[in-house]
Structure 1
Amino acid sequence: MDIMERLAGWHITPPLIEHPPLHTCDDADRLLVNRPGTRLKNLFLRDNYGRRHALLLTPPDKQVDLKALSRQQGWSRLGFASAERLDRYLGVAPGHVSVLALINDRQQQVELWLDEELQNGDDFHCHPLRNTATVLLSRTDLLTFTEQTGHTPLWLPVPSR
């Protein structure tokens, strides 16, 4: 599936920026990849039992307090999901995660959590299912995308360490 074609079918036509592979936010800093808009850190999380999953989008410099977030959301001990779970639920490998991977979650098994600190952001940086490019997804396009995929975003105050 070509994610850009699918987005265009939903009248979402964000700019696409090609670049060397970026596995982490630190990689972008080291390569001095300069892009306008709002940078994101994407964390794929699971509960202690592996029954519930969430994709958390937060500012890249935030150190998330998973214990506090777990209590806040009423989940049993949040942790990072494995590469196998990432592939099973979102169809991407580590380092390729973005909100756009929710297109592969056709059963809506992954919740979308957005840090309240991002509410005034726009032109969100998202990998188009590969880490060699970034699309700049406007706030409006982000909401259109989540509506099309059946993922209602939950804006929440994400605790930090």
Structure 2
Amino acid sequence: MQETLFRWLASSAGDYTLVEHPAVHTIDEALIHVPAMPGLMVKNLFVRDEKGRRHFLVIVPFDKRIDLAALGRLLLASKLSMASPERLLQHLGITPGSVSLFALIHDGAQAVELVLDEAVWGADSVQAHPLRNTATVALSHAGLARFLAYTGHVPRIVTVPAANA
């Protein structure tokens, strides 16, 4: 699927920037190893409801701490928790450390609900791993909208509740 993503980027994304870097698994590692580039750096969480019936890809600015209990109430979902690596692989076709909006390319069944913090949706461009954590793509807002149309995912744009510091 990575080939499919890169073909889509070349043909439909419009202006984007791609940088290669050492593997990063956390925001702290990304801050060290990802070269300066345009776009909002984001944090991606793959969570599920208590019964495992609903799955969410939640994307917020990299420095935002999320109140999962409040987010669950906002989404009218039962208690939210981090989904297992097995669920991540099953639903988004990737492993921990590579989670990004581009993984929605694997969700043809549209079983994953996309939740974007309003700051992410409002950004001129956002950064995302292209299905591997050894590269980062900066994609314009227009490119993001085209990608979501391509995958058929309609984002739920909300103010994701922040956890108390």
The 5 Å alignment of 1:48-127 reads 48-127=50-129
Moved more, 15-24 or 91-100: 15-24
| Ranges of 4+ aligned residues in structure 1 off by more than 4 Å | none
What is the aligned partner in structure 2 of residue 5 from structure 1?
7
Given that 2:34 and 2:136 are in contact with CA atoms closer than 8 Å, whether structure 1 keeps it comes out as no
| Identity level (%) | 47
State the distance in 2 between where 1:120 and 1:74 align: 24
**Match of 1:15, SS?**
strand
What is the aligned partner in structure 2 of residue 18 from structure 1?
20
TM-score (norm 1): 0.94
- What is the CA deviation profile of residues 61-119 of structure 1, one whole-angstrom value per residue up to 9, with x for unaligned ones? 11100001111111000111000000000000000010000000010000110001223
Shift of 1:43: 0.4
**Match of 2:89, SS?**
helix
Q: Which one-letter code corresponds to 1:125 in the other structure?
A: Q
**Match of 1:57, SS?**
strand
Q: Mind listing any 5+ residue stretches in structure 1 that lack a counterpart?
A: none
**Match of 1:140, SS?**
helix
Q: Aligned Cα RMSD in Å?
A: 1.2
Given that 2:20 and 2:134 are in contact with CA atoms closer than 8 Å, whether structure 1 keeps it comes out as yes
State the distance in 1 between where 2:147 and 2:77 align: 26
State the distance in 2 between where 1:55 and 1:115 align: 11
State the distance in 1 between where 2:34 and 2:96 align: 21
Q: Which one-letter code corresponds to 1:20 in the other structure?
A: P
What is the aligned partner in structure 2 of residue 145 from structure 1?
147
Shift of 1:32: 6.2
State the distance in 2 between where 1:133 and 1:151 align: 23
Q: Mind listing any 5+ residue stretches in structure 2 that lack a counterpart?
A: none
Shift of 1:52: 0.4
Cα 1:37–1:55 shift into 2, 3 Å: same
TM-score (norm 2): 0.92
Q: Which one-letter code corresponds to 1:57 in the other structure?
A: I
State the distance in 1 between where 2:47 and 2:86 align: 13
Shift of 1:7: 2.9
